[in-house]
Amino acid sequence: MNKLLLMGLVACSVSISPAFAALLHTSGEAKLVVIADQVQVDLHATSLAKTASDAKQQVDKIVKVTQSNLANLLTDSDRFEASQLQIQAEYKYQDRERVFVGYRAQRSIIVELANLDGLTQVLDAAMLSGVNEVRQLQYKSSQEEQYKQQVRAMAVNDSYVKAKQLAEGYEGQLGPVVEVNYRNQSAIPVMKIERATLAATDTNAGSYQAAQLIYRDSVDVSFELLTEE
């Protein structure tokens, strides 16, 4: 009887095929498109005068008037910030000689709006205040961190789905993760940037539509691919 039991155990062990692991490398990518709900407006004020003092006074006046005109349009969630004064002598060449033109004074103004509804009014008020240029509209989202986490999770899921399909295609089973290479430290939104130079006399308000923000993320991952001999 012992001999029969031993023969049965040997027969069972032979019927089981051990699984061998190879490596399966894949990548996951994801893109998330959302509508911006905030914006940073970069304004530029400049003045040219014969004396540095006059140039400074003129550009400081533009900043002061702009801040005053925007006061009723901004909320506690918005931000107004003006940079320090920059001033330099300006020249032009005439008959191959450098001729002094005057002193150029410049200051930048940043206005952050927590809501896009007031963007057109803010731009109109800034132009009427003497601001020379709208250098950039940088759109943002109030839920940026949430979207970064969401697109990262989408990239991870994409890598897993691809790996599982490949494993099944090679008649194997997907094993545990061996290595992960995260390409991005953080998902970076690709923002729609607009640049416009507007004359102070231009009162055509028009409208500004909310820009799209595109969040992208990606990850490289290696799994064990379990196959039978």
Do 115 and 165 have their domain in common? no
Query: In this structure, are 148 and 84 located in the same domain?
Result: no
Question: Any idea what the CATH number is for the domain that residue 201 is in?
Answer: 3.30.110.170
**What pLDDT sits at residue 47?**
97
Question: 157 and 126 share a domain?
Answer: no
Residue 7 maps to a domain? no
Domain boundary among 140, 174, 194: 140
5 falls within a domain: no
Q: How far is CA 105 from the centre of its chain?
A: 32
CATH classification at residue 78: 3.30.70.2970
What was the pLDDT predicted at 184? 72
pLDDT of residue 229: 62
Single out the residue in 124, 140, 156 at which a domain terminates: 140
Sign of the C-alpha dihedral, residues 67, 71, 76, 77? negative
User: Does some domain include residue 10?
Assistant: no
Residues 44 and 31 in one domain: no
Where in the sequence is the domain holding 154, given as residue range(s)? 18-37+142-229
Asked, for residue 6, whether it belongs to a domain, the answer is: no
The confidence score (pLDDT) of residue 228 equals 76
Q: What are phi and psi of 37, to 5 degrees?
A: -125, 5
Total structural domains within the chain: 2
Q: Round to the nearest angstrom and report the end-to-end CA distance of the chain.
A: 33
Do 42 and 136 belong together in one domain?
yes
Output the pLDDT for position 77: 95
Query: In 93-122, which positions are buried (b, 16+ CB within 10 angstroms) versus exposed (e)?
Result: eeeeeeeeebbbbbbbbebbbbebebbeeb
Q: Is residue 33 domain-shared with residue 47, that is, in the same domain? A: no
All residues at 6 or more sequence positions from 223 whose CB lies less than 8 Å from its CB, including other chains: 23, 24, 26, 163, 167, 174, 175, 176, 177, 178
What distance in Å separates the CA atoms of residue 43 and residue 40, rounded to the nearest whole number? 10
Q: Are residues 107 and 184 in the same domain?
A: no
Boundary (domain end) residue, out of 140, 171, 204:
140
Q: Is 225 found in the same domain as 158? A: yes
Q: Are residues 86 and 180 in the same domain?
A: no
Residues 181 and 130 in one domain: no
Q: Are residues 201 and 150 in the same domain?
A: yes
Looking at residue 193, its pLDDT comes to: 44
Weakly modelled stretches of the chain, pLDDT under 50: 2-18, 187, 192-205
